[in-house]
Structure 1
Amino acid sequence: MARAKILLVDDELLVREELGGLLVDEGYDVTTGGDAEEGLALFRSAQPDMVITDVRMPRGDGLSLAVAIRELSPATPITVITGHGSEQLVIVALRAGVIDFIKKPVRLEDLSAALLRMEAARELARRERVRLPPTARLLEHGWVFALDNDLEAIPAFVDVVVNTCAADLPQPQLVELNLALREVVLNAVEHGNLGLTFAEKARALEQGTLPQVLADRAVRPPYAHRQVRLTVRRLVDALEVEVADEGGGFDWQALPDPTDPDNLLAAHGHGVLLAQLSVDRLTFNAAGNRVTLRKQLRAPAWPT
């Protein structure tokens, strides 16, 4: 099986060498460029499967590169690298369709998480989709799904939800919705049903014990029999998804505000922040154990 190709663009040679080495170790075929202009030329010639670019560079920034690549290939997943002082550009890039961001200095666990998100987006882009015929219409429909506290099942679970309720959406909207739901459902299991606080998760990540902590809680009362429930409502111009867990809730008001660039470097809330920037509206109930996502369907796949 051919190795996936990644284009890495950064103006710092040391970053290209070190990060490129990590990507090679992860099994990727890596092409590197030193600025946005060279990066775009390499994208056209190398035709990579995924792109990682610094957000601030000479001869065109990473945002302009991401926008140009999205115009050439809307389905190509892009992750941007950011440091202090570049947060506003990252916010704009995420709203423009970038999949994820990585903070400098790059940590292996952050890189691995971004690669998983890009691989998921790449897999979604390769799938064949079924569309309604031009003479058919979907005016309104609803579904209800439930998931036990099975973290490994979340990607497949969300794939089924999206394929059932929204498989006919344009590819960029389909990817955004899928990745947003993965983050919200993961949050509902970890912080909702299993009651893991942000401080506990940070400590477990630092100690390398997070999988064991989650596995232990998943089989102990009162956590063992809790479920996440998804209620989906499909309208002509929007898709609404309510994700409810059976935990005691959490202080959602303490989550980073995605409109504030300073929050990109916050210690927690990365996944929910990405979800907020992938949908048009994301709201929590007062208790923090139910979240509603609304995704406007700007280009319906059926006539109205």
Structure 2
Amino acid sequence: MAEACTALVVDDEEMSRAIAAGYLARIGYRTLEADSKARAWDILAAQGDSITVVLLDRRLTDGDGLELHERMKAVPELADIPVIVQTISDSSADIAAAIRAGVFYYMVKPYGGALLRSVVRAAAEAAERLKSLRGDLRSRNDAITLLQEARFRFRTPQEARDLAIALSSMVEAAPNLIFGLSELLVNAVEHGNLGIGFEAKERLKANGMLGREIEMRLDSIHHRDKYATLHVERCDGRIAFTVTDMGQGFDFDRYMTVDAFQSTATHGRGIALARSVSFDRLSYLGPGNRVVGIVEVERTAAMAD
């Protein structure tokens, strides 16, 4: 039997901790509980390697929950544990502050069990995917840092991920580039060429049918000849990644900023996150079937130093 996943629930209200623990028990999670940042840190220090996700209240009796998250980020063994911030505030400014701090999931109380379980699954899956991508990235040849200009054509989500892995090592000082680049490339296939909308993807993931639907569309007469392209160019201290698909475009403005809508969705926040943590600039062109992500190499390297 596989070992149960573990969630650390940090909330100064005992009832809130108990409710969250009950919700998560339904998907096989065991929970550890803390009523303060100090107690949560003691648990993380002792058991961090076994914790799958942290559910963190923003307002605690001993301060802002984001301070615990920032402390986690400074410790390599804890930095990649996904954190879901929960709060009674649906302020866009508060949500944006959490995203800038590197929190990818933000839930407004009160919420239902189905939503919490879905967000926890999404957070854990994203963390595992990023861990896998980074592991593959470390195994690739550093010769890619010599690349000046190149154009690639790809059709499938796996080809998109392979490209992201190969090219993310162009900027060693930008470890989050792989997340944003993978997001843009996979979106070009799934949402652009194959026409799987964000809401449809959410339903398919919930039913465990996303992979089958992607394969079916890739083989269909309507989509089998479609491809996306990635143009990479290094010039004047920056690298531009231009991704173009053969789709009809989409309402990209809806997904460019983090707002209350995205805080309660379990999918569709990747574009805003890519813009926040992976690229210095991100711009969609035309109807939305072309996107340019810019990394300022010299500035990124200076910040890393």
TM value normalised by structure 1 = 0.76
Deviates more, 1:269-278 or 1:231-240: 231-240
Inter-partner Cα distance in structure 2 for 1:131 and 1:226: 30
Which residue does the alignment assign to 1:143?
A: 150
Structure 2 portions without partners, runs of 5+: none
Q: In 2 relative to 1, CA 45–252 (structure 1 residues): closer, same or farther, beyond 3 Å?
A: same
Inter-partner Cα distance in structure 2 for 1:256 and 1:153: 24
Which residue does the alignment assign to 1:41?
A: 42
Inter-partner Cα distance in structure 1 for 2:186 and 2:140: 27
8 Å CA contact retained: 2:107, 2:264: no
Which residue does the alignment assign to 1:66?
A: 69
Shift of 1:36: 2.1
- Equivalent runs, 1:18-37 vs 2, <5 Å: 18=22, 21=25, 25=28, 31-37=32-38
Inter-partner Cα distance in structure 2 for 1:130 and 1:78: 25
8 Å CA contact retained: 2:106, 2:264: no
Inter-partner Cα distance in structure 1 for 2:71 and 2:193: 41
Structure 1 portions without partners, runs of 5+: 133-137
3-state DSSP of counterpart to 2:102:
coil
- Equivalent runs, 1:98-247 vs 2, <5 Å: 98-101=103-106, 104-105=111-112, 106-123=115-132, 128=138, 141-148=148-155, 150-163=156-169, 165-166=170-171, 169-170=172-173, 173-174=174-175, 176-202=176-202, 204=204, 209-235=209-235, 237-247=237-247
Q: In 2 relative to 1, CA 14–234 (structure 1 residues): closer, same or farther, beyond 3 Å?
A: farther
Which residue does the alignment assign to 2:295?
A: 295
8 Å CA contact retained: 1:56, 1:86: no
Shift of 1:71: 2.5
Inter-partner Cα distance in structure 2 for 1:233 and 1:17: 49
Matched, 1:93 2:98: yes
8 Å CA contact retained: 1:91, 1:261: no
Q: In 2 relative to 1, CA 101–264 (structure 1 residues): closer, same or farther, beyond 3 Å?
A: closer
Q: Which amino acid aligns with 2:34?
A: G
Inter-partner Cα distance in structure 2 for 1:216 and 1:177: 30
Inter-partner Cα distance in structure 2 for 1:216 and 1:139: 38
Shift of 1:124: 5.2
Render the CA deviation track for 1:145-196: whole Å, top value 9, x for unaligned: 2211x23444333212213x23xx23xx31x211112222222112210123
Q: In 2 relative to 1, CA 99–14 (structure 1 residues): closer, same or farther, beyond 3 Å?
A: same
Q: Which amino acid aligns with 2:54?
A: I
Q: In 2 relative to 1, CA 60–262 (structure 1 residues): closer, same or farther, beyond 3 Å?
A: farther
Q: Which amino acid aligns with 2:66?
A: L
Q: In 2 relative to 1, CA 50–99 (structure 1 residues): closer, same or farther, beyond 3 Å?
A: farther
Shift of 1:231: 1.4
Q: In 2 relative to 1, CA 159–30 (structure 1 residues): closer, same or farther, beyond 3 Å?
A: farther
The structure with more helix, counted as a fraction of residues: 2
Shift of 1:210: 3.8
Inter-partner Cα distance in structure 1 for 2:47 and 2:222: 52
Shift of 1:285: 0.6
Deviates more, 1:104-113 or 1:215-224: 104-113
Shift of 1:299: 4.2
Inter-partner Cα distance in structure 2 for 1:76 and 1:181: 18
Inter-partner Cα distance in structure 2 for 1:296 and 1:9: 38
Inter-partner Cα distance in structure 2 for 1:236 and 1:31: 50
**Structure 1 vs Structure 2 CA RMSD:** 3.6
Shift of 1:241: 1.0
Identity %: 24
Inter-partner Cα distance in structure 1 for 2:266 and 2:125: 20
Shift of 1:283: 0.7
Render the CA deviation track for 1:224-255: whole Å, top value 9, x for unaligned: 121121112235743321111112222323x2
Number of equivalenced pairs: 286
Of residues 40, 52, 55 in structure 1, which corresponds to 2:54?
52
Inter-partner Cα distance in structure 1 for 2:125 and 2:199: 24
